[in-house]
Amino acid sequence: MNHQRVCFLLGSGASVPAGFPTVAEITEKIAAGCGQEGGLRTFPDPLPDGGRSLLRWLEIQIKRRYVSEGDRAVHYENLYFLAKQLSDDLLDEYDNPAIRPFIEGAVEQVLPQLPSLPGNAYNELQKLAEDVTKRIRRTVVLLLSSHKPTRLDHLHFIVEAVQETGHPKPAILILNHDTLLETVLGSKDLDFVDGFAKEPNPVGVREWQPGQLVHQTDAIRVLKLHGGIDWYRLRPHGVQTHLEDYFGIPTSKCSTAVVDSQGRAHDLMDDSMPIFMIGSWDKLARYTDSVYLEIYYAAFEALRTSELLVVVGYGFGDKGINKLVTDWMCRSLKHRLLVVDRSALSLHQRARGAIAGKWQAWLDEHRLFPLKANLEESKMPWWYIKESLS
């Protein structure tokens, strides 16, 4: 076991013990309008009636689709996906003829409840869908960025695994947008690479460095496959084209008063919103975007050279991630999957088909090891996790 090359995959369940909101709690805030009553002082006004009506209608459509699954909850990733489908199709950004009846249904059932807005019905619906997607993103950013971790020790088994490992160091795949893992590694003075420059540029931004992640083996690789709440697209002020756009993480040195060698401040693009990914099925299309494509490939390479994948707090609900895992498991009978979750023994019942359909076969082959554990109640040492492979 000591000589096995290990890779980690962290889902949202890995952040919940540190006090970060659950998917259900974020969804509840969005559905409630996120007004000032929640103590979110910096949050904008509640979502207008039109947006709330569209959200409610989308929720009903999701429940109708999954009625046979009974207790399946509607969460914000589903809501974002459907709202983005509406907006993208109406803007001709992502044509999908199959969605036209869905659009017509929204026009007929949502718009008559609202005061008339400028433009035709499709313009009205597109504006509502855009409002909904922006509100969901802003809610996620606020709830995650305003939270300070209440504990770090529940992830110390990763630190122990890293310290035990020689070279190459483990890669850690993350599906969360928060910076909890970076905080954990920093608290133990562990060096890691995340694809961004160590030192900030003249305006205080750590720039994305293409090619840094794939062949890096002498440091821990932190691969945030869905982006982060501190990732932004930036552009020098006054530039009208995309030629000088870049991705980066603003540091404490970054401000509008800081300029580059040409005397230009650098503006945050995309309405000053981070560039992380939200949505259920639409993530598949986004994995080919510039930054995400390289991270996805780096994750593929990290798995290719690993013999053990330790999954923590992930429910196997992302088709793109599931494809990475299943392809890797099917590539060699030496590959082993250890799943740490409070519901590890029954996780396959709500996993997507690619995982659920192979779960029992992997168990029979003694390559899948579900480890039932509640990280909110106790912390696990790395030796205990390794013993579960026996």
Residue-wise pLDDT tens digits, 37-94: 333 444 555 677 788 899 999 999 998 887 766 667 788 999 999 999 999 999 988 7
Looking at the chain, the number of H-run helices and the number of E-run strands are 12, 11
* CA separation for the pair 112, 131 (Å, rounded): 18
At 3, the pLDDT band (50, 70, 90 cuts) reads: low
- Are 92 and 103 a contacting pair, CB within 8 Å? no
User: What is the CATH architecture of 6-20+150-198+209-227+275-387?
Assistant: 3-Layer(aba) Sandwich (3.40)
> What percent of the chain is modeled with pLDDT above 70?
92
- Stretch 151-172: mean pLDDT, rounded? 89
The count of residues in the chain is 390
Bridging pattern class, strands 246-250 and 232-236: antiparallel
Return the higher-pLDDT residue of 112 and 132.
132
**The pLDDT of residue 61:** 92
Distance between CA atoms of residues 46 and 55, nearest Å: 13
Taking the C-alpha atoms of residue 270 and residue 81, their distance in angstroms, rounded to an integer, is: 18
What pLDDT does residue 152 have? Answer: 95
Q: How many CA atoms lie within 13 A of 268 on its CB side?
A: 16
Task: Name the phi and psi angles at 306, rounded to 5.
Answer: -110, 155
Which pLDDT does position 351 carry in this prediction?
81
Res 265: pLDDT: 94
pLDDT(375) > 70:
yes
Residue 190, token pair as written in the block:
């562990």
For the residues 328-341, what does the mean pLDDT come to? Answer: 95
Separation between Cα atoms, residue 119 and residue 121, nearest integer Å: 7
Q: Do 237 and 265 touch, CB atoms closer than 8 A?
A: yes
Read off the pLDDT band of 96 (50, 70, 90): confident
- Does the reported pTM lie above 0.85? yes
At residue 49, the pLDDT reads 78
Q: What is the mean pLDDT of residues 19-30?
A: 92
- Residue 17, pLDDT > 50, answer yes
Once rounded to an integer, what is the mean pLDDT over residues 247-257? 91
- pLDDT for position 320: 87
Question: What pLDDT does 117 receive?
Answer: 61
- pLDDT-derived band at 164 (thresholds 50, 70, 90) equals confident
